[in-house]
Amino acid sequence: MPILSFIIFPMLGYLSGSLPFSIWITRRVKGVDVRDAGSGHATTTNTIRQAGFGWGALVLILDLAKGFIPTWFALHFAHNLYPLLVPITATCTVIGHCWPLFAQFRGGMGLATTGGAFLAVSFAAFLICLGLLVFFVLIIRHSARASVAAGVLAGPALWLFNIRDAALWTALGAGSVIAIRFLIDWNRTYRELWLDRENAGKKAG
């Protein structure tokens, strides 16, 4: 069982992250693929564009849950034996969300799933990283670039706040995935801070 833990928990994380709730819900409600319009990603904001705020809120909760649940299990059943299994599992959930097995490896951006993982590990870390993201969004005025910055600096920020347990390693792992994932939208043109873009379906640059 100890050796199998290195397979079971990360795999549980990846499979949980791979559940494409925005795709399933939008297809069920509107009969469309959420990735065919708006940002082109399977995200809460894209669900809001196509199915409304209520369904978007449901997707947000489910995406938080799929990051929270496997990370919580790793924290409570494997942390004492292998502390690094918690951040590894959390990172795998974010990888699963961004490149889901059940959706042709075309998923979302990972923010909500990362948030769920942080909620399982440390509420303080969740608040700090959320605050960091909001700060960069307001300063940079470009959500994708702000997310890259927040992903890169989440770990150092927790270090400065003297949070140096599993939450720090979760920030380093999941934050790196977030930064890499959001590079795809580096040149995206926004009409609003987050929900809209200048020309739907068209990349700037």
**CA 156 – CA 158 distance, rounded (Å):** 5
Within a domain: 193: no
**CA 173 – CA 118 distance, rounded (Å):** 12
**CA 99 – CA 102 distance, rounded (Å):** 9
**CA 120 – CA 69 distance, rounded (Å):** 8
Within a domain: 52: yes
Within a domain: 165: yes
Q: What is the pLDDT along the chain (205 residues), one digit of tens a residue?
A: 567 888 899 999 999 999 999 999 999 999 999 998 777 899 998 999 899 999 999 999 999 999 999 999 999 998 777 889 999 999 999 999 999 999 999 999 999 999 999 999 999 999 999 999 999 999 999 999 999 999 999 999 999 999 999 999 999 999 999 999 999 999 887 766 555 544 444 433 3
Number of independent structural domains in the chain: 1
Domain that holds residue 84: 2-185
pTM score of the predicted model: 0.90
CA distances from 155 to 103, 126, 176 (A): 30, 12, 9
Within a domain: 194: no
Within a domain: 69: yes
